[in-house]
Structure 1
Amino acid sequence: MDHVSEVISRAFHDSEIAKHFSCRRTKFAAIAYNILGNNFEEKMLAELRPKLENETERNPVFSLIIDKSHMSVLPRCQSFLIELSNQFLQRLPVQDNFLQDLSFIDHQKAVYGEFRTLIRILRRFPNLVATENMQILDNEYRELKLDLSMTNLLSTSSSTSETFMLDTFWSEVSQICDANNKPKYGNLSRFVKQMTILPLSNAKVERIFSDINRIKNQDRNRFNNKNVAAIMHGKEGLRQLEGGCGRFDPDRSMIKLMDSKQLYDNDTQHKDEES
């Protein structure tokens, strides 16, 4: 970045804009830390926040698995894991019927299965469903079994195809409205979506660790956590854009921050690069 300004002015010597272009290492670091990183982080958080439709809406839940199970295990570590598993079997209720209770989310069983109550499984997740809302959710499940539109939904040609999956069914259920044009099964479909969040792979997490190692390496070991996070948010934000960096178009919120006060008065601007 210390040489880019001169390269641009020489390459576009007939452009007045290019002649006055100036963006060296300090300014570029400020942009990365205080504008790109912060902005992409806010966009990410906005996507994670729930769109509150009523006061009973709960925060979204995400499941993340971080481990080293893909690596070869030394015999000593293997013995430790075996003993740890044995201790778990003695202390944890691994024989309970939790997964069996979850069978209610299967679209065929949800519509054609026997009548049952969901209270037992709802009580296991008080952070997702408040006590006063458990009966409301249970009533929605019971009403769903008597709803002829559910039978019609499963009898369509799309329901017999291989692409008609559980998430597709519950997504369509969540869009069914009552006479007041409000979601008829909003609480139930929301709870089902939360129950289907299962960890599948830690590859994404491992890639992020690799990115961090490339950013904070032996030559740049004085990077603090805030600046590393800002660079990571910038990288991930640009990755999500269709066309990547080449088609990046800064929005108004970024442009408004492009002044000296916003760039250099932010407490996330440090002297990492000066070393």
Structure 2
Amino acid sequence: MKTAFAMNRAKYGDKFHYELTRSRVSEQEKHNIKQRCYDFLHEAKNQLEKRLSHDIDTIGNLKYFDPKMCLNQLRKPFPSISATFDHLTDDITNASRKTSLLQIQYDKLLSVDWTQEFADGEVPSDAVTFWAYVHNYENAAGVKCFGELSQMVLYAHVLPLSNAFVERIFSYVTIIKSKIRNRLLLETMEAVVRIRSHLAGMQKCCKSFDVTNKMLSLFNSSMYTCQAKHAERTSTEPSTSAGSTAELHVTEQECQEDLEEVMKTVF
């Protein structure tokens, strides 16, 4: 009885009802058709729920942190939307003062004239750009006033809606690490994958990408030192002197720092 009630309330579309009404099949056959369509829609709903992110409520509440909404005097109170973000703030501060700290920072947003903080005098419409600036905002004492709140919002913006992005990363790795380039270092592989995924997400390509002077300054002979030392280490015997080992360690550390600098300029 419950299934029949749900089947009658399901929305099959006007086209379906029109074709079913004008058809000459018996009432039993019409019922069977509706039953099969209902079973299909019910299974499609179940499969969709399995593929949706567990953070779908968190992603839905991100709209309240849009610059136009969170800077509005008639915005939604913070306690009514903070519950879905609790799992993103566990490593930000201790639980005893987490809610009160985020509430204070949320209330302080309206005390800052954000139009004076941006060069063009307008608050960015893009939420990530706005909250990235809010994260680095400091008061006269050099203290970040909105560090925990902005970190929570930025965490929420990188939550995956599905596993499609992860599958895309595997495709990038398959394309990059070919038979010819099978000796790529892990650091190089990570850098290329991150750059490719960033450009794809920003809908840019090598023709429209602007290279900064800082990025160009990092392209020097030191970028090949780590790879040369790595090849030398793998070709020599294990009995390496302590001095050369320390030198190799420092060189790899410097390469890693250079890589991080490049990634900062890109992202």
TM-score tier, shorter chain, comes to: 0.3 to 0.5
- Which structure would you say has the larger RCO, counting Cα contacts within 8 Å and 6 or more residues apart? 1
Which of the two has higher C-alpha Rg? 2
- Structure 1 length as normaliser, TM-score? 0.45
Task: Name the one with the larger helix percent.
Answer: 2
